[in-house]
A and B are shown apart, each in its own frame.
Chain A
Amino acid sequence: MSDSFYEEPSAPGQTGWRAWLLTTDHKRIALLYLWVVLFWFLAGAAFGLTARTQLMAHGQHLLTAKAYNAVFTLHGVIMVFLFIIPGIPVILGNFLLPLQIGARDVFFPRLNLLTWYLYVAGGLLAIGSLFAKGAPDTGWTFYVPFSLSTQTGVTFTVFAVFVLGLSSMLTGLNFITTVHRLRAPGMGWLQLPLFTWSVYATAWVQLLATPIIAVTLLLIIVERVFGVGLFDPARGGDPLMYQHLFWMYSHPAVYIMILPGMGIISEIFPVFSRKSIFGYKAIVAATMGIAIIGSLVWAHHMFVSGMSDVAVLLFSFLTFLVAVPSAVKVFNWVSTMYRGSIVMSPPLLLALWFVFLFTIGGLSGLVQGAAGPNVHIHDTYWVVAHFHFVMFGGTGFAFLAGLHFWWPKLFGRMYDFKKAYLGSALLAAGFLLHYFPQFILGLQGMPRRYYTYLPELRPLNFAAGIGAYIMVAGLLLLVANLLLSLRRRRDAPGNPWDATTLEWQTSSPPPRENFLAEPRPPAYPYDFRRGG
């Protein structure tokens, strides 16, 4: 058995910690990211559970109002900037992109390592904010004027997000160059696997949108420190301009979150239906379409902000437009299964849950995108339910599906299926019990970001709390199950699922150079006809 990349460091003679902290191997960098991202996910989940527990225990005030504000702010900042935005691209993207295109590594391996250090630094800076002036209490959106006046660690946190943005942007730069320059001979644009396409489209959004929030955050710092006043009405500024600039990035950011997840789903359905993906080109077009149109809808977060009616109508229209390519994808995934030969597996189960939960989330987004209903549900729990359905039920489940799909490739071991099914069931059941009531609570007028609520909303909040704990139990079981598999022997086959994309043509885990023989890309990436 030849050596895998675990045995062979990226530079000869590297041993011990140097072989990891100074590596330029994209596979090792992906794993470095995995452990740190996992840490931040658990931290973000802990903050979320804390907030939910407070809401469960109505009237008991486990947290002061100010502490509660800090808790949901940290939950948001951590989940958005330290987990969901980087998550799939830096872990699965880093590991699999070069493999899927038949390359030896990304185009700029040392830049890749730098992005990891920037990510770690961003996380440390976020921790630093707790000790500087205390955790910020502005919500993860840092709206002015409060973010300018509050005496908490906003400057520190905002700078942490700036650094994390730099990491994200450089990852995007690396992936774009990689796909353009390092495809194996025979791997044309229309031979690319759909996960690669999704990471490529995401990379463009990371590249072009992130600088907008970078400069906006710098302005927050400059206003807090030097009093420049560009968002302060007393000094000629416009607070709505902060919102425009903030959402100009932060809305495309949610497409940074979902596109790679959709890419994972597009890989899973063909394999476990033993059938080619339905409408490969349509999915490619839809992927690029979501990236482009999704960058034009940001002001749907501002319908009730005092914006002009013209803008409200325009952005509402564009928001409805972006739903179309997403719906095309859902249709194509389901059509892939039709008349396929279904093989149940944990990745498929999680992918099926993705389709169900993401569809609910997406449809609820249309309600928000309509200007009239938006007036009633803006800043209520309806919105909270919507984005958890798409970000957690969507990206979160897709991420778990991807981990379960590619785990044998990353670690050379298979996990226990029964525990995976049980964990998925607990997670899904808990998720629905936790988040579905929040749609109703929102319609009943419960505002978001409040540390308490009217007594008549107790039963649903309590039920949601029960759901949260079940959900977390399911998550912990899934994660523990995956980690426990690492105690097994490393004997997974190169292609345990009989999949067709290039990463499965090499051993599990792959050797340092990814492929022992020059990979030969098939003319079509999802050809299941030859029974292999």
Chain B
Amino acid sequence: MERTDAAGVRLGMWLFLYTEIMLFGGLFVLYSVYRHRYQAAFAAGGLELELPLGALNTCVLLASSFAVAAAVESVRRGLKKAALAFLGSAALLGAVFLLVKYGEWSRKFALGLYPGGARLSAEPGGFKAFFGLYYALTGLHALHVSIGCLALGVCWALVWKGAVHGGRLNVLENSGLYWHLVDIVWIFLFPLFYLVA
């Protein structure tokens, strides 16, 4: 028997999102403790990060969230070409995010600002903790962005094939929910790392 309880599927997806909130939440707890303990060192660490790149990435993800929401609306209205354009843009923006992140990490590595690196090893504990958290949190986040990009790519293919349409869009909606949550995590990571100083 074909069961299409959309509300149930949506509940399941939200339950999964709650686990993601708790997953990042553990790291947020760790961040909050160390920030409280090392206020000055965190400010110093924040100065090392490149605010324009962080702000750019923030805007990139916000725009991609808009694109995903617009894609869902397009599918609902049966506007296949618009949906494909929005989905493609969202995935592309996600890729841009990852490229910028890769660039940021590379520049930090080149400066010796990585665990075990020359510059970081010479800094005090709080500064090291800041960067440990930076890599842990942005790394975990980037992993999620990558998975999200893949999901959006799959959705693009399904829309293109006609497997996802106005009467059957669970996969797209749920991928969208995942993507928005990944955006929300970054909405918090941005001030926590780039606006400390």
Contact = CB atoms under 8 A, between A and B. Distances in A.
Given A215-B23, A227-B115, A230-B133, A245 B29 contact: yes
B115 A169 contact: no
B23 A235 contact: no
The B contact surface, by secondary structure, is helix
Contact of B23 (A107, A214, A236): A214
A229 B23 contact: no
Q: How large is the interface on B (under 10, 10 to 19, 20 to 34, 35 or more residues)?
A: 35 or more
Interface string A42-58: 00000000000000000
B127 interface: yes
Interface of B: 1, 5, 7-8, 11-12, 15-16, 18-20, 22-27, 29-30, 33-34, 37-38, 41, 115-116, 124-129, 132-133, 135-136, 140
15 contacts: A177-B15, A180-B8, A181-B8, A210-B22, A219-B136, A226-B116, A229-B129, A233-B125, A236-B34, A236-B128, A236-B129, A236-B132, A237-B132, A241-B33, A248-B26
A230 B5 CA distance: 44
Contact of B19 (A181, A210, A233, A235): A210
Given A107-B12, A173-B12, A228-B136, A216 B125 contact: no
Nearest to B37: A238
A49 to B, nearest CB: 36
Contacts of A228: 115, 132, 135-136
Interface of A: 104, 107-108, 169, 173-174, 176-177, 180-182, 207-212, 214-216, 218-219, 222, 226-230, 233-238, 241, 244-245, 248
Given A235-B128, A237-B132, A245-B30, A212 B15 contact: no
A230 B20 CA distance: 21
A169 B19 contact: yes
Given A211-B25, A236-B34, A236-B124, 20 more contacts: A107-B5, A108-B12, A173-B15, A180-B8, A180-B11, A208-B22, A210-B22, A211-B26, A214-B26, A219-B136, A227-B116, A229-B132, A230-B129, A234-B125, A236-B126, A236-B129, A238-B34, A238-B37, A241-B33, A245-B26
B188 to A, nearest CB: 15
A241 B15 contact: no
A181 B6 CA distance: 10
Nearest to A180: B11
